[in-house]
Structure 1
């Protein structure tokens, strides 16, 4: 992929050490063409733009189906995962089953919202996220007849550890009539995810393209299991009945559209979907399929891990999980009590990373060269000396 950087000239990836690829990857130049197309369609067709915008949205849904190996899956789109998770939560029968099971390693979208629900007397059980190898089993042990849902990531956002055996957890949840929501945000684009192969055809999946997929903001999704058609989200937008607006309404009962429209919101800015459609085409042209992206990610994170080991830093300064790299997602997490301090020092040297608690995160991307990755880790050696 040595020439890939040429397609990201506006982000200047060839000249910058952008090691925040797990948070916000650069956009290829064609993304701007998508945004301009959105403006031109609005200018030329005004309110008739929506048929063109919906075609872009359908293209985005189709791509998520490919990434999930779920060709017939129902997909609801949203500007962010929070709005989609809130609609999901609003569809649960929390009066009869006032218990939610999750982990202490979830991203802030779940952490904050579930903590607020706990203040309103919803029982929220937090299972320690580590060790990841036994997390699914420990979550399953907390499932009972009072549980409405289990909410867990497929890749942990602080450590990059992949959570194995979610299929076993899904089997347990199904046996108790409990919903399982899997946050796949840190998987798509770096860890191939086949719902049939993983035993996850009957679960909810939430994620988006802001991180590894280079789609930018406003391109999140909620994948619905088949039984979702029985649920009626309390938080609902008028797009959930968009195709039936002219139909006669039952004044005593709110109706919902089919498939993913059941969990739709309301009027949105379609520019993000135009940008996404352009990037999707670019990925196809460059051969950036899920297996290829995984190969690139593993090679790059292995290079970073090796370069870190070569620094020979004392464990009291910084260390890392030395499990095989195939057990991790798309970034290298270095554990250090001075993570935030080192992040700032690296930024002053032109190396952009980020930190979460005591984890300093180095996130590569396909357009970065090997010498850029080595230079970034060498800079860490200098600031930590």
Structure 2
């Protein structure tokens, strides 16, 4: 019995879906969750929210488990961008008009920080390469004018794990700055314990659209313990729910804990879907260590199959210096014509992804070794056909 039998709607056993780093297939139970959301709305109408909030709490519990932080305060949002904006709006950018980030951030942070730079905020971009020294270089860029550092734990273009982020957390603590870690490309493929990683003082943002198979609308922001009193300027009326912190007369009140970063009325169907998928993962034993084991095997198989093709480095090559455990869940190939190769692969039924010169092969637990080998064999055929 293979895992693929639980993904019949996505037909994963019939298709070569190598976009697992961007959009993994959803198990069939995800559809059941969506139907349950409809049925609850039809049954309870406006009283559905008590049922919906229970699904949101299940998602928060799943996030806490993935972070190894059972008591974490977790805010939810439709996208990481929504949550990053609320985080940025809580910073004292007048008193500390400086943000530090990397040149390898995903667009949800990259574009927003670029726009803030246009508006006059000093944004320092530390080159993402070499990744081995990235944390040290980020830490060195933090000073007393820095409001926050925004950095990924796994780079979205290359799949490289960023080592030693604890030194960035320490630098932020010394200078009174915040650290926001984007763990989107880590969760579900590289185990994470915030305490073990030295990141207990960090904010963490991520979501379920990629390796967790939760689909859209399931993003989160984990708050560290020291954030009481921060008041995001971008705020929704849900932040007025619950136990309100004392506020001076004439000022806007906020709930305590993660509810301070809440938004407003949302589509709860995403949380129904997430609840079902989180339970499915538990039933199938798809724990972070098991998912890491599968990922290392699949990525290693793809890398070896690519090397066996013996293609010219000038056409397509890969990083052979970073050790296997220094990568997340996908294989990046470097190709000047990455988009062309991606299109040619798609014509032959192999779904991949490209960003600039990065051609990305993203496996998933429901794919077989034969499927991965077939996908890489097709790349060889594409390259050789293009070269005549």
What's the offset of the Cα at 1:135? 0.2
3-state DSSP class of the match of 2:228?
Answer: helix
Alignment of structure 1 residues 274-353 onto 2, 5 Å? 274-322=272-320, 323-353=322-352
1:322-371 Cα shifts (integer Å, max 9, x gaps) = 12110000000000101000000000000000001101000000000000
1:245-290 Cα shifts (integer Å, max 9, x gaps) = 9x99865111111211010000000000000000011001100000
The reply on whether 1:4 has 2:8 as its aligned counterpart is no
Number of residue-to-residue matches in the alignment: 383
What's the offset of the Cα at 1:228? 1.5
3-state DSSP class of the match of 1:337?
Answer: coil
Asked whether the equivalents of residues 346 and 353 of structure 1 are also in contact (C-alpha less than 8 Å), the reply is yes
3-state DSSP class of the match of 2:8?
Answer: helix
Asked whether the equivalents of residues 246 and 253 of structure 2 are also in contact (C-alpha less than 8 Å), the reply is no
Choose the corresponding residue for 1:253, options 248, 251, 268: 251
Structure 2 length-normalised TM = 0.97
Q: Which ranges of structure 1 fall in alignment gaps of 5 or more residues?
A: none
Distance 1:142 1:249 in 2: 35
What's the offset of the Cα at 1:227? 1.4
Partner of 1:176: 175
Distance 1:262 1:7 in 2: 38
When the two chains are superposed, the root-mean-square deviation of aligned CA atoms in Å is: 1.3
Q: Following superposition, which runs of at least 4 residues in structure 1 exceed 4 angstroms of deviation?
A: 247-251
Distance 1:243 1:46 in 2: 22
1:54-94 Cα shifts (integer Å, max 9, x gaps) = 11000100010000000111000000000000000000000
Distance 2:246 2:259 in 1: 19
What's the offset of the Cα at 1:377? 0.3
Distance 1:91 1:12 in 2: 44
Distance 1:164 1:251 in 2: 46
Distance 2:127 2:368 in 1: 36
Alignment of structure 1 residues 101-112 onto 2, 5 Å? 101-112=100-111
Distance 2:230 2:247 in 1: 19
Asked whether the equivalents of residues 206 and 221 of structure 1 are also in contact (C-alpha less than 8 Å), the reply is yes
The reply on whether 1:272 has 2:270 as its aligned counterpart is yes
1:111-166 Cα shifts (integer Å, max 9, x gaps) = 10000000011000001001111000000110001110000000000000000000
Distance 2:383 2:132 in 1: 31
What's the offset of the Cα at 1:241? 1.2
Partner of 1:65: 64
Partner of 1:139: 138
Asked whether the equivalents of residues 229 and 262 of structure 1 are also in contact (C-alpha less than 8 Å), the reply is no
Distance 1:248 1:234 in 2: 17
Asked whether the equivalents of residues 152 and 182 of structure 1 are also in contact (C-alpha less than 8 Å), the reply is yes
The reply on whether 1:378 has 2:386 as its aligned counterpart is no
Q: Which ranges of structure 2 fall in alignment gaps of 5 or more residues?
A: none
3-state DSSP class of the match of 1:141?
Answer: helix
Asked whether the equivalents of residues 101 and 124 of structure 1 are also in contact (C-alpha less than 8 Å), the reply is yes
Asked whether the equivalents of residues 318 and 336 of structure 1 are also in contact (C-alpha less than 8 Å), the reply is yes
Distance 1:259 1:56 in 2: 19
3-state DSSP class of the match of 1:197?
Answer: coil
What's the offset of the Cα at 1:242? 1.7
What's the offset of the Cα at 1:384? 1.1
3-state DSSP class of the match of 1:381?
Answer: helix
The 1:165–1:53 alpha-carbon spacing in structure 2 relative to 1, beyond 3 Å, is same
Distance 1:257 1:86 in 2: 18
3-state DSSP class of the match of 2:75?
Answer: strand
The reply on whether 1:206 has 2:205 as its aligned counterpart is yes
